[in-house]
Structure 1
Amino acid sequence: MRPSLQTVTAPASVQDLTLTRTPDGQQLENIKSHLDLILLALESLSGIGSEAMLLAAKELNLEKVIGDRVTLWRLRQSNPLRKSSGGRKKLDVEEARSLVLIICHLAQQEQDNIRRACALLEQMTEQGKEPHRAALLGDYLDNFSNTYQERMDEESPAPPEFLVRLAFKLLIDLLFYGATNGHRRLWLALMDHATE
């Protein structure tokens, strides 16, 4: 009997996240916003908070960049869509890379939950049923919508249809970001998103 081959994946690294050119100020603003929304989706689905994010930073040896709650809070608050004007207004490329690695690390840890939610979304859609009627998806949508409206600064409340589409798009994205080379996928998506 031959021994089975095991797939060994290299740990995600900041060196994997290269740039062809440095993003300008507006592109960094777009990147900040998108990273914060992805974290919001992850929080809404799995209930993780800053402790899990800081633990992920420690496990990935990113403590020099994101080592405490205040630093993390300032990075999240730097999202120009947020209500609070507090926090830092600037996100540098190194911090963006670190957040990408943290998001993908957490998405890998939550992969079972993400897969279950995506499979349920597909099943409900195929059956022509409202996705929010499934408990897992309903809770996710409620958490996402409530937290979005609580944190984001908008002159008028976001329409429920917009929040549903955004929440489900981010959920599906998380499925890919938690997979092998998810950090590269997210990094490329951010670079694409930054130019929109």
Structure 2
Amino acid sequence: MDALPNNLPTNPSGNAPADDATKNQVASLTAAQLRDIKAQLDLVLMALEALTHIGSESVLETAKTLQLENILSDRVGLWRLRQSSPLRKGQGRKKLDVEEARALVLVICRLSAAHHEKVRQAVATLEQSTQQGEPPHRAAILGDYLDNFSNLYSDRMSEEALLPHPAAPTQNTTIQNTVAQNTATQSTANQTLTQLSFRLLIDLLFYSAPNGERQLWLALLDRAVQ
């Protein structure tokens, strides 16, 4: 069985040994920090789904390969675990514990490594499009990824997770102004979603590399304690 990432690096390179402070971070995670971690894990896995078209079966098969079927045993359990994300529509009450988080980290990184070439190709295409000043969605691999990610996010996530609430109209606000404000809000939300999808895509490249599980776990901890 692959060891769970208890020994974590103190920097993103994954070369340094774990220190007591990092271990203490894991032991002292609060319920709110675990909620943030499960939200981030769900997003990373969703980005991987959008790029590679994997489904729950691939996740469960990978968990079995890693001898983690006692934690990720079936589709219903996986669905409940992911549905517990605070960003999800109708989020469930399932709480994520540290062992479940570690299991998801290992599964995500194993799947990312299996699709490393596609992840690398997508990131290289994004870099090339950016350098040439071309809209990234015009590249087939990125356009497909963006469409899939947007559809998955729209289907699964609460609007409040991304969309800012538009300001309530005042007496002097015309209908046209209200429509314009809402349109601007939607445009901002679309831009935010695109930025999120590309950030997750770039992150996947690091998680698909050797010691990717350490980098992912460290990133989760850093975000959770901010």
Mapping of residues 112-191 of structure 1, within 5 Å: 112-155=117-160, 156=163, 159-191=189-221
TM score, norm. by length of structure 2: 0.78
The question of 1:54 aligning with 2:57 is answered no
2:133 alignment partner, SS class: coil
Q: Identify which of 62, 65, 74 aligns with 2:71.
A: 65
1:20 alignment partner, SS class: helix
Query: 1: CA distance between counterparts of 2:34 and 2:6?
Result: 19
The question of 1:28 aligning with 2:39 is answered no
* Residues 43 and 17 of structure 1, relative CA distance in 2, 3 Å threshold: farther
Provide the residue aligned with 2:3 in structure 1. 13
Contact 2:5 2:102 in 1 (8 A): no
Instruction: After TM superposition, give the deviation of residue 17 of structure 1 in Å.
Output: 4.7
1:14 alignment partner, SS class: coil
Contact 1:12 1:183 in 2 (8 A): no
Aligned residue identity for 1:95: E
Q: Which runs of 5+ in 2 are unaligned?
A: 9-22, 164-185
Contact 1:117 1:137 in 2 (8 A): yes
Q: Which runs of 5+ in 1 are unaligned?
A: 1-10
Provide the residue aligned with 1:98 in structure 2. 103
Provide the residue aligned with 2:222 in structure 1. 192
- Structure with greater Cα Rg: 2
Aligned residue identity for 1:54: L
Provide the residue aligned with 1:41 in structure 2. 47
1:106 alignment partner, SS class: helix
Mapping of residues 77-92 of structure 1, within 5 Å: 77-86=83-92, 88-92=93-97
Contact 2:5 2:213 in 1 (8 A): no
The alignment covers a number of residue pairs equal to 185
* Residues 159 and 15 of structure 1, relative CA distance in 2, 3 Å threshold: closer
Most deviating of 143-152 and 90-99: 143-152
Provide the residue aligned with 1:4 in structure 2. none
Q: CA offsets, 1:47-80, max 9 Å, x none?
A: 0000000000001000111111111111100101
The question of 1:107 aligning with 2:112 is answered yes
Root-mean-square deviation over aligned CA pairs: 1.5
* Residues 100 and 17 of structure 1, relative CA distance in 2, 3 Å threshold: farther
Query: 1: CA distance between counterparts of 2:205 and 2:5?
Result: 23
% same residue: 56
Instruction: After TM superposition, give the deviation of residue 12 of structure 1 in Å.
Output: 4.8
Instruction: After TM superposition, give the deviation of residue 114 of structure 1 in Å.
Output: 0.2
Contact 1:17 1:187 in 2 (8 A): no
Q: CA offsets, 1:102-151, max 9 Å, x none?
A: 00000000101000000100111111100000011001001101111111
Contact 1:17 1:97 in 2 (8 A): no
